């Protein structure tokens, strides 16, 4: 088999980065309000007290990210990425407690496959949901994946570079305060074509379901 160069689009991988924003409350009062406060004790309504207490004491379901390279069964890896080393390669992260990613890729004959699995742990369910919704809005053309975590979404895109087609599927899942992100890419360097949308989508969803189960069963 002759050696084939990989297209630039397949060698450069961009993984999603979750950006969390925190806002503070600024309380102001005029002279009259300040004076009244001296004579009137500050009181909180039952609703306010319960809400603030819940926000400050509610524990996170997931405190750290699980090991991504052991989140998938070996048979799943070999079926999705033939000829790949099942151990995978973990990508360095600035904070492994928050975000961890494992990657598998291989050229089997003329067929090329690349699979990434990422876990992102956030401070709260609300933060994870906000990030999830923001990404879904940007990933147009996909659809919901029933039964995947608290919410699941998948989308498949086709790209062409120097006559070589590549098809990439992305699956995003949210479960409590964590996100699972899977990308699955395929190309055929002999025909210059790409695997079908159905093949890539099903493969990405399969990996996402296993990764989400691994998070739910052992990531707490």
Using DSSP's 3-state secondary structure scheme, residue 219 falls into coil
List the Cα angle 14/20/26 in 5-degree steps: 155
Q: Name the phi and psi angles at 32, rounded to 5.
A: -65, -40
Residue ranges of domains in the chain, CATH in brackets? 62-218 (3.40.1000)
Helix (DSSP H) and strand (DSSP E) numbers for the chain:
6, 7
Cα–Cα distances in angstroms (integers) from residue 99 to residues 16, 62, 120, in the given order: 10, 12, 4
CA distance 161 to 210: 31
Q: What are phi and psi of 155, to 5 degrees?
A: -150, 145
Helix (H, G, I), strand (E, B) or coil at 52: helix
Phi first, then psi: what are they for 93, rounded to 5°?
-125, 150
Q: Using one digit for the tens of pLDDT, what is the confidence trace for 64-116? A: 999 999 999 999 999 999 999 999 999 998 888 899 999 999 999 999 999 99
pLDDT of residue 51: 45
∠ Cα 178 184 189 (to 5°) = 165
Residues paired with residue 69 on neighbouring β-strands, in sequence order:
none
Residue 97: per-residue pLDDT: 84
Helix or strand (DSSP H, E) at 90: strand 89-91
Specify the pLDDT at position 108: 97
The pTM assigned to this predicted structure is 0.74
Residues in the chain with pLDDT < 70?
1-58, 219-220
The per-residue pLDDT for 37 is 40
CB of 142 closer than 8 Å to CB of 131: no
Query: Would you tell me how many other CB atoms lie within 10 Å of the CB of residue 102?
Result: 22
């Amino acid at each position: 088999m002759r050696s084939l160069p990989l297209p630039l689009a397949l060698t450069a991988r961009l993984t999603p980065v979750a950006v969390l924003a925190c806002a503070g409350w600024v309380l102001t009062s005029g002279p009259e309000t300040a004076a009244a406060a001296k004579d009137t004790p500050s009181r909180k309504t039952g609703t306010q007290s319960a809400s603030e207490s819940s926000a400050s004491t509610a524990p996170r379901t997931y405190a750290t990210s699980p090991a991504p390279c052991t989140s998938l069964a070996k048979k799943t890896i070999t079926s999705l990425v033939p000829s790949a080393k099942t151990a995978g390669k973990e990508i360095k992260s600035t904070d492994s407690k928050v975000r961890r990613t494992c990657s598998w890729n291989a050229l089997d004959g003329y067929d090329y496959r690349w699979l990434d699995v990422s876990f992102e742990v956030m401070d709260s369910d609300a933060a994870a949901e906000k990030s999830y919704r923001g990404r879904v809005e940007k990933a147009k053309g996909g659809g919901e994946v029933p039964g995947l975590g608290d919410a699941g979404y998948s989308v498949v895109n086709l790209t062409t570079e120097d006559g070589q087609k590549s098809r990439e599927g992305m699956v995003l899942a949210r479960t409590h305060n964590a996100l699972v992100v899977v990308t699955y890419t395929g190309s055929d360097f002999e025909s210059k074509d790409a695997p079908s949308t159905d093949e890539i989508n099903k493969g990405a969803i399969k990996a996402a379901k296993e990764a989400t189960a691994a998070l739910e069963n052992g990531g707490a």
